[in-house]
Amino acid sequence: MSAEFPFTGGVSALVEQELPPFREYAWDFENDCFIYDDAGKRIIVEDDEALKIWVYKALKTERYEYLAYSWQYGIELKPFIGKVMGVYERYSELKRVIIECLMVNPYIRSVDSVDFQTDGDYTHCDIALTTVYGEVNINV
C-alpha cells in the first residue's frame, strides 16, 4: 500500500464494485402504480430500469414531508410555491434541487444535464445521468 492511497480515489471505486444490483418494483408511469405479473405479484426490475423508477419517485416526493423516508430522500419544491422569480432563475434553482435530490443515490455517478420544456400548464424535464451501469435518459 502506497502512502498516497487515501488521496487517489481508489476507495470510491471499491465501494462501487461492492454495490449489489439496484432493484425496484416495476412501475407503470402512465397510471402511477405498480405492475403485477399474472399471479398478482409485483414484478422486480434491476439496474437502469430500477434507477429510472427511483428517480421518478424521488422527484415526486417532497423532502421532509413523510416520516417513512430518510431526510436525504426527495426533493424540496415547497419553497418555490408563491415565490416570485423569473423563468430562467426558477429553472436554475429547480436544476439545483434536482441534482441535490438525485446525487444522494450511490448508483448515480453524475447528473449530466437537466433541460426543461414548457407545454401549456406543464413543464417537462429531461435528465441525463451517468450511473454505475452507464448512461440513462429520463423524462419527468
Q: Which domain holds residue 42?
A: 21-106
N- to C-terminal Cα distance for the chain?
A: 45
Q: Are strands 23-25 and 44-46 parallel, antiparallel or unpaired?
A: antiparallel
What distance in Å separates the CA atoms of residue 126 and residue 138, rounded to the nearest whole number? 6
Residue 124 lies in a domain: no
Residue 133 lies in a domain: no
Residue 120 lies in a domain: no
Residue 131 lies in a domain: no
Q: 88 falls in which pLDDT band (50, 70, 90)? A: confident
Residue 26 lies in a domain: yes
Residue 71 lies in a domain: yes
What distance in Å separates the CA atoms of residue 140 and residue 135, rounded to the nearest whole number? 16
Residue 28 lies in a domain: yes
Residue 59 lies in a domain: yes
User: pLDDT tens, 5-42?
Assistant: 444 444 444 444 688 999 999 999 889 899 999 999 99
Per-residue model confidence (pLDDT) at position 17: 61
Number of domains in the chain: 1
DSSP, collapsed to helix, strand or coil, labels residue 2 as: coil
DSSP letters spanning 21-78: PPEEE-EETTTTEE-B-TTSPBPEEEHHHHHHHHHHHHHHSBTTS-TTS-TTSSB--G
Q: Rounded to two decimals, what is the model's pTM?
A: 0.80
HEC string for 95-128: HHHHHHHHCCCCCEEEEEEEEEEEECCEEEEEEE
